[in-house]
Amino acid sequence: MQTATAHAPAHELTAPEPHTPQKNGLRDYVDNIRGTTKSFWHGMSVTLSYMFRKPITAQYPDRMPVGRLADTLPARYRGFLEVDRDICTVCKACERACPIDCISIGEIKDPKTRKLVGMDRFDIDIGKCMFCGLCVEPCPTGAIQHTREFESASASFTNLTFRFVPEGTVSPVYKVPKGSTAFMRAELGSITRAIVKNWDAPPPPFPAKDTKKPTHAATTKPSGAAGALGRELAVRALEAKAKSDIPKLQKTFEDAMAGTDCGDCGYADCFGYSDALAKGLDFDPGKCAPGGAESKGNLEVMLVALKTGKAPEAPVEAVEAAPTPVEAAPTADGADALQKELVAKTVAAKDNPDALKAVFEEAMAGTDCGDCGYADCDGYSTGIAKSGDNDPSKCAPGGSETTANLRAMLVSLGRKPTT
Amino acid sequence: MQHALDTFISNQFHVDAATWAWTQVIYAIAIGLAAFALVNFGAILAGIFSWAERRIAARMQSRIGPNRVGPGGFLQWFADAVKLMLKEDLIPTQSDSILYRMAPYFVMVGFSCTFVVLPFSHAIAATTMDLGLFYIIAITALIVVGVLLSGWASNSKWSLFGAMRAAAQIVSYEIPGGMALMVPLLISGTLSMQEMIRMQGGIQPEAGGNFLTAGGWPWNWNIFHDPAAFVCFFIYFTAALAEGNRAPFDLAEAESEIVAGYNTEYSGFRFSVFFLVEWGNVWVMSAIACTAFLGGWQVPGISLAALDNATGLSSIGLELLSLSFFVVKTLSLCFVVIWLRWTLPRIRVDSMMSLCWKYLVPAAFASIIFETVWVLAFARSPSFQLFFGVIMSIAAGAVPLWLFAKRTFDNIRDTGDRVDLTNW
């Protein structure tokens, strides 16, 4: 043992071995041999035992012990998207939610009533899809869902565009029964499985450039018809208001909406939004995303009619074409004449605050948009006439013309416009 | 083999082989054929080992391994070889190009020359060289030369590091490896590989033996001759692993430290030569261990006289029997080599050196001294040797093997698993 420890200085030349401190040379020596033998004994029995166990490798795809791998995946696996068009309300919430625009929906509207009647296209480019699931969440009926299908190897990239509405057909809009919370859906995956092609399937023919389908023409809005619808709705709204018939007013507002109950407006469904509009709780006509500009225009006409108390005059294409009518810039002479007239009225009403307020309101765009910071035009004009607001530039819809008019009027009163 | 050729000449040409002018030509043709057969045996064997190792390694890691090319993936090695040969053979501009080209030949020659004396069966061996064991230890040193050359000539730091490691390792482990082979040498009293196997035949019938004493029974093997031989088998096996740069001693090719070691710069066919030698060496070291310790081609119950005097069909049958015994034993050792590789992590350089100089070298020398005493004491009593051989083969052979098998299947059972040989 003494001789074994005497080798310690030589040992220092080699790398230190922290796990085997040199306490007792010979005992360590024997311990090392025993430890090595034991660890060999154990280690080799472990590795050998694996020779007799089943390898866990799954030989995908051709030697799988289970049938289809997709069927073994967890239920919430995010595979290919699938649309059940039988319960699709064509609200296009999924299309808007998609961050990479891989969903494309072709809506069809009735040319007269401007209501959604169906869709002739519901394409998802699964090659672009990043399987984020953002389209699934806003869907009011659960028509769009992730399936567990995932095998997308394809010789042709165009085969990765899944067409859920077969070409040349029109799928009708699904009307949600009031109060429904659950919707009968086709078996998840069955629709997508029918659409997915073999990897070597030939690509669909490239569409010729001039084949513009008539349905597309129908979706472009003829402004006259829309204006007529807006006027009709406004008249009905005025009638309802005259009778203080809130449910009827609500129904009228809902008629101007797309009716998909998508919830994109922030309300639970179309009823919520139209009810808020009818009760005067909401003044924003632009929340109906599926309805688009058309719905927004009609709602705006109705709101203006209710506010002013009179039905819109014959052609309201100004409203239809552009939500801010004053933007249609009049000629320089007309503008000057209007300004002179307003200034004259201002000077005349100088000592009558109520009359002054009415003149100021006349100079504004009258959309009650609230962009000025006041609740509506009434508030802004009162502020100028009675509370000493000297800023003429707050009327955003009126633009520079209104600002110039208001400034001239303020100057005529001997006040100093701030801008 | 010369004797067989002489017999062949006298039978076919009815001339005296010693004086016939064409004898040397016949010899040359026979040597060429034997060399061709042996080199190709080595090359094909190395290829098959590459497939076997991958399948075994995969299985030990709960994988499957290559199973697509050919039945069970068996032709994978062939596909790999074709791929390697078709690859571009790059020689670095800054390398010593002559030495760089020479290095694979040194390695290949050092490897294939061992087949000159490696026995395969009772009669199948290229030569029966009297200095067989000594020759093998000497000729395998050529591999070190090739490895050093390749590392030096590559002019790459990884290659040089790998080569220096390999040199230090191989030179160190030559000592315990060579010393461990001294013990079977002391037991059998010969350096000839064939003679060494013949000496493990136990008590022959002529000397009063019977079926259970003659032939390749485990109690006649050198490994169960005495405790020193038993220890020396493991010393030799460890040293041979290190000399062959096999895991856990593959420091010369430690990919996590020095890329691929001495063959970093090699590609294509030149690389495949290194590759081939590494796997071929597994057979060589297993065959030497089988020859020196495990009774070689000895068939249990068949005496040497029966093998020597057999004629005709029974001669072929006995020859094939002895060949299969040798091959099965050698392949089992090859399996252990592969199995070790996938069990043990690569050891540190200083641990590798301390294992050699502190443990294996002293143990090998102690074994030699023990063995000389043992041989002096018991060589004259074959019956005691037989008795002790039986005790050793039970105590050091059968019982540990049974315990190990039990342990292995306990491992499977204890983890809630079961024996399942499907999913190949």
- Domain locations in chain B as residue ranges: 1-86, 88-379
Q: Please tell me whether residues A145 and A181 are part of one structural domain.
A: yes
CB-closest option in A47, A55, A59 to B342: A47
Q: Please tell me whether residues A178 and A259 are part of one structural domain.
A: no
Contact assignment for B408 to A33 by CB distance below 8 Å: no
B354 chain-A contacts, CB cut-off 8 A:
14
The pLDDT confidence band at residue A333, using thresholds 50, 70 and 90, is low
What is the helix (H) or strand (E) element at residue A377, kind and residue range? helix A377-386
**Does the structure show a pLDDT above 60 at A268?**
yes
**Does the structure show a pLDDT above 90 at B369?**
yes
Contact assignment for A33 to B359 by CB distance below 8 Å: yes
Report the distance separating Cα B99 and Cα B88, nearest Å.
19
Which of A358, A418, A357, A354 lies closest to A391 in space, CA to CA? A418
Overall number of domains in chain A: 4
Residues in chain B: 424
Q: Would residue A213 count as lying in a domain?
A: no
Q: In whole angstroms, how far apart are CA B97 and each of B71, B86, B91, B93, B273?
A: 41, 21, 7, 8, 17
Query: What own/partner pairs with CB < 8 Å and gap ≥ 24 does A97-101 have?
Result: A97/A134, A97/A135, A97/A137, A97/A138, A98/A134, A98/A135, A99/A130, A99/A132, A99/A134, A100/A128, A100/A129, A100/A130, A101/A128
Q: Does B332 touch chain A (CB under 8 A)?
A: no
Residue A356, CA atoms < 13 Å, CB-side half-sphere: 18
CA angle B418, B419, B420 (to 5 degrees): 105
**Mean pLDDT, rounded, for A145-173:** 87
Q: Would residue A207 count as lying in a domain?
A: no
Contact assignment for B59 to A59 by CB distance below 8 Å: no
The pLDDT confidence band at residue B208, using thresholds 50, 70 and 90, is confident
Cα of B73 to nearest chain A Cα, Å: 14
A65 chain-B contacts, CB cut-off 8 A:
423
CB-closest option in B354, B359, B423 to A55: B423
The tokens describing B415, both together, are 């983890």
How many angstroms from the chain centroid is the CA of residue A343? 46
Q: Would residue A52 count as lying in a domain?
A: no
**Does the structure show a pLDDT above 70 at A207?**
no
CB-closest option in A14, A33, A51 to B354: A14
Confidence (pLDDT) at B158: 87
What is the pLDDT of chain B when averaged over all its residues? 86
**Does the structure show a pLDDT above 60 at A22?**
no
The tokens describing A301, both together, are 């006409």
Q: Where are the alpha helices (DSSP H) in A52-169?
A: 93-97
**Does the structure show a pLDDT above 50 at A1?**
no
Confidence (pLDDT) at A322: 43
Q: Per mean pLDDT, which range of A320-324, B379-383, B401-405 is the poorest? A: A320-324
Longest dimension (CA), chain B: 74
Contact assignment for A46 to B343 by CB distance below 8 Å: yes
Q: Please tell me whether residues A185 and A290 are part of one structural domain.
A: no
Q: Please tell me whether residues A270 and A293 are part of one structural domain.
A: yes
Q: Per mean pLDDT, which range of A11-20, A152-161, B48-57 is the poorest? A: A11-20
Confidence (pLDDT) at B286: 92
The pLDDT confidence band at residue B140, using thresholds 50, 70 and 90, is confident
Q: Does A41 touch chain B (CB under 8 A)?
A: yes
CB atoms under 10 Å from CB of A281, counted, come to 8
Q: Would residue A61 count as lying in a domain?
A: no
With a CB cutoff of 8 Å and minimum separation 6, the contacts of A84 are A143, A145, A185, A186, A191
Q: Please tell me whether residues A25 and A77 are part of one structural domain.
A: no
The single-letter code of the amino acid at B54 is: R
Q: Would residue A276 count as lying in a domain?
A: yes
Cβ atoms of A357 and A382 within 8 Å: the answer is: yes
Confidence (pLDDT) at A177: 80
Which of A123, A209, A199 lies closest to A157 in space, CA to CA? A199
Contact assignment for A57 to B423 by CB distance below 8 Å: yes
Strands A144-146 and A81-83: antiparallel
Confidence (pLDDT) at A317: 46
**Does the structure show a pLDDT above 70 at A162?**
yes
Confidence (pLDDT) at B30: 84
What digits encode the pLDDT tens for the residues B70-106? 888 889 988 988 888 888 888 888 888 888 888 888 8
Report the distance separating Cα B100 and Cα B108, nearest Å.
14
How many angstroms from the chain centroid is the CA of residue B190? 19
Query: Cα(first)–Cα(last) distance of chain A, in Å?
Result: 102
**Mean pLDDT, rounded, for A354-368:** 78
**Does the structure show a pLDDT above 60 at B417?**
yes
CB-closest option in A33, A44, A65 to B339: A44
Q: Which of A105-119, A226-240, B148-162 has the highest mean pLDDT?
A: B148-162
Q: Please tell me whether residues A319 and A359 are part of one structural domain.
A: no
| CATH of residue A161 | 3.30.70.3270
Mutate to test the interface with A, among B403, B423, B424 (most CBs of A within 10 A): B423
Cα of A197 to nearest chain B Cα, Å: 27
Q: Please tell me whether residues A104 and A194 are part of one structural domain.
A: yes
The sign one gets for the Cα dihedral A262, A266, A269, A270 is negative
**Mean pLDDT, rounded, for A104-112:** 82
**Does the structure show a pLDDT above 60 at A222?**
no
Longest dimension (CA), chain A: 124
Residue with tokens 């060949």: B323
Report the distance separating Cα B285 and Cα B243, nearest Å.
9
Contact assignment for A47 to B343 by CB distance below 8 Å: yes
Which of A139, A225, A214 lies closest to A183 in space, CA to CA? A139
Cβ atoms of B230 and B392 within 8 Å: the answer is: yes
Q: Does B377 touch chain A (CB under 8 A)?
A: no
Cα of A28 to nearest chain B Cα, Å: 12
**Does the structure show a pLDDT above 80 at A17?**
no
Q: In whole angstroms, how far apart are CA B42 and each of B45, B83, B283?
A: 5, 19, 8
Q: Please tell me whether residues A103 and A183 are part of one structural domain.
A: yes
Q: Per mean pLDDT, which range of A265-274, A350-359, B64-73, B414-423 is the poorest? A: B414-423
Q: In whole angstroms, how far apart are CA B261 and each of B31, B148, B266, B281?
A: 36, 11, 10, 18
Confidence (pLDDT) at A144: 92
With a CB cutoff of 8 Å and minimum separation 6, the contacts of B373 are none
Cβ atoms of A336 and A344 within 8 Å: the answer is: no
**Does the structure show a pLDDT above 80 at B7?**
no
A32 chain-B contacts, CB cut-off 8 A:
359
Contact assignment for A44 to B340 by CB distance below 8 Å: yes
Q: Would residue A214 count as lying in a domain?
A: no
Q: Does B357 touch chain A (CB under 8 A)?
A: no
**Mean pLDDT, rounded, for B303-310:** 81
Cα of B337 to nearest chain A Cα, Å: 11
Residues in chain A: 419
Mutate to test the interface with A, among B412, B415, B418 (most CBs of A within 10 A): B412
Q: Does B56 touch chain A (CB under 8 A)?
A: yes
Residue with more model confidence, A49 or B257: A49
Q: Please tell me whether residues A193 and A290 are part of one structural domain.
A: no
Q: Does A3 touch chain B (CB under 8 A)?
A: no
Residue A274 structural domain = 223-323
Report the distance separating Cα A301 and Cα A89, nearest Å.
26
Which of A369, A176, A136, A135 lies closest to A271 in space, CA to CA? A176
Contact assignment for A45 to B404 by CB distance below 8 Å: yes
Contact assignment for B412 to A59 by CB distance below 8 Å: no
What is the helix (H) or strand (E) element at residue B147, kind and residue range? helix B141-153
Q: Please tell me whether residues A118 and A194 are part of one structural domain.
A: yes
**Does the structure show a pLDDT above 60 at A14?**
no
**Mean pLDDT, rounded, for B273-300:** 88
Percent of chain A with pLDDT over 70: 81
B353 chain-A contacts, CB cut-off 8 A:
14
A–B interface: beta-carbon pairs under 8 A? 73
The tokens describing A361, both together, are 């309101």
What digits encode the pLDDT tens for the residues B218-234? 888 889 888 999 999 99
Q: Would residue A384 count as lying in a domain?
A: yes
Q: Does B414 touch chain A (CB under 8 A)?
A: no
Q: Does A67 touch chain B (CB under 8 A)?
A: no
Q: Please tell me whether residues A312 and A385 are part of one structural domain.
A: no
Q: Where are the alpha helices (DSSP H) in B71-140?
A: 76-86, 97-112, 132-139
Q: Would residue A56 count as lying in a domain?
A: no
B56 chain-A contacts, CB cut-off 8 A:
51
What is the pLDDT of chain A when averaged over all its residues? 78
Which stretches of A84-193 are assigned E, i.e. beta strand? Answer: 103-109, 116-125, 144-146, 161-163, 171-172
Mutate to test the interface with B, among A37, A53, A59 (most CBs of B within 10 A): A53
Contact assignment for A14 to B417 by CB distance below 8 Å: no
CB atoms under 10 Å from CB of B2, counted, come to 12
Report the distance separating Cα A361 and Cα A380, nearest Å.
8
pTM of the model: 0.65
Q: Does A60 touch chain B (CB under 8 A)?
A: no
The pLDDT confidence band at residue A182, using thresholds 50, 70 and 90, is confident
- Provide the ipTM: 0.81
Q: Please tell me whether residues A90 and A167 are part of one structural domain.
A: yes
Report the distance separating Cα B108 and Cα B279, nearest Å.
12
